[in-house]
C-alpha cells in the first residue's frame, strides 16, 4: 500500500456529481461520486450473481474492481460532466495520470478496458454505471427535480443498448433481464415501466 494517497482517494466521498447540480439539484442534495460508485458496484454484483446462476463464466472480482475504481480518478480531476468528457481527446491519458497521482497506477488497465469496453466485465460495469445514474435520476424526479428526467431517459436507453449490442447470446439476455427488472424502479407509477 505504500504510495497510495488514501485520503485523497477518499475525496470522492464528498465530491458532488456535477451533472445533478447542472440540472438544478442543490449541492447539499446532490449525490456524491462515492454514493454513485456504491450503487454501481451493487448493481454490478447483482448482474454477476444472475450471470453465475445461469451457469455462465464471468470474472466477478474483476467486475467489482472496475466498478469500485471507475470514478476514482475524479478525486484528482473533479467530476467532469459527460458533455465535456465526450469532447476531450485525451480522457484515457487524463484518467491514467490521475490514477498515477493517487498511487493507483496498478489499476490503469481499468481505464482502458472501460474506454474500449473490451471485456464483458467492463461492459457490465458500464451498464451498471448507467443504471445507477438512471435510478438516481428517478429519485430526483420523484422529489420534484424534473431536470433530471433527461438523464434518466438517456442513461436507461444507454444501459439497454449496451446489453443488446455489446454482449451476445445468453449473456445479453440475462443482463438485459436485470436491466429491465431494475428499470421498473425508474417509473414506479407508470403502466409502462420500461419507459
Model confidence, pTM: 0.92
Q: What is the pLDDT of residue 33?
A: 96
- 194 confidence band (pLDDT: 50, 70, 90): very low
pLDDT digits (tens, 9 = 90+) for 84-110: 777 777 888 999 999 999 999 999 999
Q: What is the CA radius of gyration of the chain?
A: 16
Q: 6-183 belongs to which homologous superfamily?
A: Hypothetical protein af1432 (1.10.3210.10)
Closest CA to 50 of 164, 116, 118, 128: 128
Q: Which of 32-36, 49-53, 75-79, 115-119 has the lowest mean pLDDT?
A: 75-79
Q: What's the whole-number mean pLDDT along residues 179-195?
A: 70
Count other Cβ atoms within 10 Å, centred on residue 59: 13
CB 180 within 8 A of CB 158: no
Rounded to the nearest 5 percent, the helix, strand and coil shares of the chain are 70, 0, 30
Amino acid at each position: 500500500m505504500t504510495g497510495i494517497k488514501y485520503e485523497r482517494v477518499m475525496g470522492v466521498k464528498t465530491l458532488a456529481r456535477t451533472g445533478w447540480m447542472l440540472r438544478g439539484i442543490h449541492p447539499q442534495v446532490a449525490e456524491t461520486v462515492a454514493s454513485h460508485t456504491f450503487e454501481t458496484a451493487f448493481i454490478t454484483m447483482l448482474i454477476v450473481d444472475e450471470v453465475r446462476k445461469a451457469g455462465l463464466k464471468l470474472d466477478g472480482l474483476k467486475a467489482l474492481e472496475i466498478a469500485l475504481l471507475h470514478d476514482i480518478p475524479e478525486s484528482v480531476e473533479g467530476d467532469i460532466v459527460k458533455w465535456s468528457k465526450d469532447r476531450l481527446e485525451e480522457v484515457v491519458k487524463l484518467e491514467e495520470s490521475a490514477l498515477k497521482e493517487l498511487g493507483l497506477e496498478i489499476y490503469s488497465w481499468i481505464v482502458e478496458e472501460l474506454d474500449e469496453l473490451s471485456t464483458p466485465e467492463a461492459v457490465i460495469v458500464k451498464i451498471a454505471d448507467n443504471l445507477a445514474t438512471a435510478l438516481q435520476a428517478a429519485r430526483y424526479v420523484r422529489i420534484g427535480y424534473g431536470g433530471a428526467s433527461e438523464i434518466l431517459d438517456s442513461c436507461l436507453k444507454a444501459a439497454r443498448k449496451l446489453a443488446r449490442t455489446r454482449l451476445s447470446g445468453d449473456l445479453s439476455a440475462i443482463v438485459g433481464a436485470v436491466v429491465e427488472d431494475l428499470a421498473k424502479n425508474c417509473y414506479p407509477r407508470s403502466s409502462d415501466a420500461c419507459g
